[in-house]
Amino acid sequence: MNLYIVMYHYTRDLLHSRYPEIRGMDVLTFKEQISFLKENFNVVEMEQVLDALDGKCELKKNSCLLTFDDGYIDNFTYAFPILEENGLQGSFFIPGKTIVEHKLLDVNKIHYILAGTGNISELLNDVYERMDYYRDGYDYPPNDELFKEYAKSNRFDTAEIIFIKRMLQMALPEKVRNRIASDLFEKYVGVSEEKLAYELYMTEEQIKTLKRHGMYIGIHGYDHYWLGNLEKVMMENDVMKALEVMEPYIDKNRWVMNYPYGNYNEDVINLISRNNCSMAITTKVSVADIDKDNRFELPRLDCNDFPPKSNTYMNF
Ligand SMILES: [Zn+2]
């Protein structure tokens, strides 16, 4: 049976926000989209999907599941009331670090750096300069070699932007990535990271409120790493730490994984299945088929694939 799993990130009043260039869904668009989905799809709850996976029930035709990544406060402020008003459930995937440490995740640092610069070639130069500067004492390939390997455009970003993202997300050694991201954050954003972290992520109290109101809470790693790229021990530590931190909000015998950056490998699947994970969602772009797909590799569509943004969902 087909299941349209819809992926959301930022949902906010973009025009009146401090960073209107950040790529998110405006609250009015979100409201329209929810009306559209409610009218044209059968919006299901996570528990129904898990029951269907276990053969305890069947999903209706055109079922759709709403997923929100990264634990943003704007999901709480803007999306949650609209979901409530419509009697719909959202599933929220919170990186453990955001509620424990109040530090910005790399993924967000990079979003804000990109939103803060109007000039990608200047930013690219800055990245190159710093990659050269920090190369002493660390071991990573020459800049042009890395560019060749990682600068691959996708359906939302140019090759240059993907290159910058990959360098700062995973390709460079972690210490180097962090130093460069902090340098650039200071140059292009200029707000303290801690302050922005408090502005950006949900608090534990807010997550509890979501849960009390029937929303579903899932796992999105602890540090928001590319799990499939980590050494096995580090990968295991990250997932287990996430489970520990999120224990108040999840059922440890029946939980759902959302791989950060959609990245995973066999080891990750083995670990989560051994630890009673019931299903996992990726960023592979497609409609899920819960009878045929591997339950630990379910694909999703982006919110931009649905009206009022586009009709791309029809192509799948
Ligand atoms: Zn994420």
Domain ranges of the chain: 2-99+202-315, 106-195
Q: What is the pTM of this model?
A: 0.94
> 185 CA to middle of ligand 1, Å?
19
pLDDT, tens digit, 9 for 90 and up, residues 242-293 = 999 999 999 999 999 999 999 999 999 999 999 999 999 999 999 999 999 9
The count of other CB atoms within 10 Å of the CB of residue 233 is 8
> 56 CA to middle of ligand 1, Å?
30
Residue 210 banded pLDDT, cuts 50, 70, 90? very high
> 137 CA to middle of ligand 1, Å?
31
> 165 CA to middle of ligand 1, Å?
13
Distances (CA, A) of 100 to 123, 131, 207, 242, 251: 31, 30, 13, 10, 19
Residues whose CB is less than 8 angstroms from the CB of residue 305 and which lie 6 or more positions away in sequence, other chains included: 6, 312, 313
Assign domain 2-99+202-315 to a CATH class.
alpha beta
pLDDT, tens digit, 9 for 90 and up, residues 283-306 = 999 999 999 999 999 999 999 999
Residue with tokens 């609250």: 27
Answer for the pair 67, 258: CB distance below 8 angstroms, yes or no. Answer: yes
Mean pLDDT on 58-72: 97
Say yes or no to pLDDT of 21 above 80.
no
> 95 CA to middle of ligand 1, Å?
8
According to DSSP, the residues that pair with 219 across neighbouring strands are 94, 257
> 7 CA to middle of ligand 1, Å?
10
> 308 CA to middle of ligand 1, Å?
24
